[in-house]
Amino acid sequence: MEKRGMLYEGKAKRIYETNEQDILWIEYKDEATAFNGEKKDTIIGKGRLNNEITSIIFERLREKGIENHWVKRLSETEQLVKKVTIVPLEVVVRNIMAGSLAKRLGMDEGTVMDTPIVEFYYKNDDLGDPLVTEDHIQVLNIATPGQLENMREMGLQVNEVLKEVFATINVRLVDFKLEFGMTNDGELLLADEVSPDTCRLWDKDTNQKFDKDVYRRNLGNLQDGYQEILNRLGGSSCTK
């Protein structure tokens, strides 16, 4: 596989074309950002940790029958994925009250919800990624009702698998964000990443945070928590 020209550089990743039309080459960066890019830092090792953790998670999801864009890990910071056109929605699934929902509803973080909840946010930096309803999504014309239903269902399925994966390593899956894309064949596929950048992960016994809130809230060293998650998941799966 050959790496070709860069297609896109985001906050946390660079995406390149390859000599295969349907495969992209992703490089995870050491940059951390929060609050729509207002807080920004280089954190050495973050790219490696997210690439490794995402690779393990996508592989586990596939083993459990949840298809996704991940193809192969290439190196500590690189992976291959299937090419998709990203649907500009963030699908957030929550098990425990935290973050923006705790703020929106004026509730304490840590309340366990009876059933998981699913929210959609419109991916738009200029608007600050607002929460949107299904009717808003129809007005925006960015996903059909059928696609939305699929994203909700897949979000809940991912939640069931990941709750179990994290429970076995003594971690509570508080909430997480997913992104989906459309393949050239018109298939809706789970894409982007699933890592401590995109999940809230609390130690089951101490509630210690092992996720990006450590960075957002200046709670200490972000890499330590991410490394702890990687270690508990069984460490690197890299063959190269």
| Tokens representing residue 93 in the block | 């699934």
Compute the least distance from the CB of residue 54 to ligand C5P, in Å: 12
Residues 6+ apart with CB under 8 A from 160: none
Q: How many residues bind ligand C5P (CB under 6 A)?
A: 14
Rule CB under 6 A: choose which of 212, 214, 227, 229 binds ligand C5P.
212
Compute the least distance from the CB of residue 62 to ligand C5P, in Å: 21
Question: Do 89 and 192 form a contact (C-beta atoms < 8 A)?
Answer: no
- Hey, which residues between 144 and 183 contact ligand C5P (CB under 6 A)? 175-177
Compute the least distance from the CB of residue 187 to ligand C5P, in Å: 23
- Hey, which residues between 113 and 142 contact ligand C5P (CB under 6 A)? 129
Nearer residue to ligand C5P within complex by CB, 74 or 227: 227
Rule CB under 6 A: choose which of 100, 150, 183, 208 binds ligand C5P.
100
Compute the least distance from the CB of residue 92 to ligand C5P, in Å: 5
Compute the least distance from the CB of residue 201 to ligand C5P, in Å: 8
Separate counts of helices (H) and strands (E) for the chain: 6, 14
User: Which of these ranges, 43-51, 65-73, 99-107, 133-141, lies near ligand C5P under the rule CB under 6 A?
Assistant: 99-107
- Distance (Å, rounded) from C-alpha 199 to C-alpha 119? 14
| 137 CB burial (10 A radius; 0-12, 13-18, 19+) | buried
Rule CB under 6 A: choose which of 199, 214, 222, 233 binds ligand C5P.
199
Over the window 75 to 94, marking each residue x when it contacts ligand C5P by CB under 6 A and - when it does not, the resulting string is: ---------------x-x--
State yes or no: residue 57 binds ligand C5P (CB under 6 A).
Answer: no
State yes or no: residue 209 binds ligand C5P (CB under 6 A).
Answer: no
Tell me which residues touch ligand C5P (CB under 6 A). 90, 92, 98-101, 129, 175-177, 198-200, 212
